[in-house]
Amino acid sequence: MSAPHRRAVFTSLGAITPIGDGPAFRDNLRAGTVGIRTIQAFDASALPCRIAGEFPQPFDAKKYIPASNKDGRKSLKNMAKTVQMGLCAAQLAMDAGGPKPGSMDPFRFGIEIGCVMVASELDDLAGAAKHTITETSRVIDMAKWGHEGLEKITPLWMLKYLPNMPACHVSIFFDAQGPNNTITGGDVASTLALGEAFRLLQRDAADYFLVGGTDSKINPLSFTRNNLFVPFTRNNAAPATAVRPFDRDRDGVAAGEAAVIFGLEELSHATKRGATILAELAGFASGFDRGKRGPVLAGVIRNALKDAGIGPADVDHVNANAGGSIALDAFEARAIHEVFGKSVPVFALKGQTGNAGAASGALELAATVLSLHHGELPGTQNCTDVGTECPVTVHVGAPRPVAKPYAVKINYTDMGQCAVAVVKRWQD
For 324-356, what is the HEC assignment? CCHHHHHHHHHHHHHHHCCCCEEEECHHHHCEC
Q: Which residues contact 84 (CB under 8 A, 6 or more apart)?
A: 59, 61, 76
pLDDT at 130: 82
Q: Which helix (H) or strand (E) is 24 found in, with range?
A: helix 23-31
CA–CA dist 351, 241 (Å, integer): 7
What whole-number distance in Å separates Cα of residue 19 and Cα of residue 198?
A: 28
Instruction: Give the phi and the psi of residue 286 in degrees, each rounded to 5.
Output: -140, 165
Report the DSSP beta bridge partners of residue 290: none
pLDDT tens figures, 156-178: 788 889 999 999 999 999 999 99
Distance, CA of 28 to CA of 30 (rounded, Å): 5
* Residue 383 parent element (H or E): none
**Residues linked to residue 114 through DSSP beta bridges, in sequence order:** 183, 213
Q: How many CB atoms lie within 10 A of CB 101?
A: 9
Question: Are 352 and 19 contacting, i.e. CB atoms less than 8 angstroms apart?
Answer: yes
Domains and CATH numbers, the chain: 8-120+157-272 (3.40.47.10), 122-152 (no CATH), 284-425 (3.40.47.10)
Q: What is the DSSP string of 162-174?
A: -TTHHHHHHHHHH
Residue 116: HSE in the Cβ half-sphere, 13 Å Cα cutoff:
18
Task: Provide, for the chain, the percentages of residues in helix, strand and coil under a 3-state DSSP scheme, each rounded to the nearest 5.
Answer: 40, 25, 40
What was the pLDDT predicted at 131?
Answer: 82
What is the rounded CA–CA span in Å between residue 139 and residue 132? 8
How far is Cα of residue 424 from the mean position of the Cα atoms in its chain? 20
Name residue 210's beta-bridge partners.
111, 263
Q: Which alpha helices (DSSP H) does 235-324 contain, by range?
A: 267-272, 295-308
Q: Tell me whether strands 376-377 and 400-401 are parallel, antiparallel or unpaired.
A: antiparallel
Residue 1: predicted pLDDT: 37
Cα–Cα distance for residue pair 414/230, rounded to 1 Å: 10
Residue ranges in the chain modelled with pLDDT below 70: 1-4
Distance CA 261, CA 210 (A): 6
Among residues 376, 424, 407, 366, the alpha carbon closest in space to that of 24 is found at: 366
Question: Shortest CA distance to 350 belongs to which of 226, 254, 238?
Answer: 254
Contacts 24+ apart (CB under 8 A), 126-132: 127/152, 127/153, 128/152, 128/153
Check: pTM over 0.75? Answer yes or no: yes
- Tell me the residue type at 352: Q
Backbone angles phi, psi at 375, to 5 degrees: 85, 20
pLDDT in tens, 267-326: 999 999 999 999 999 999 999 998 899 999 999 999 999 999 999 999 999 999 999 999
Q: What pLDDT shows up at residue 4?
A: 62
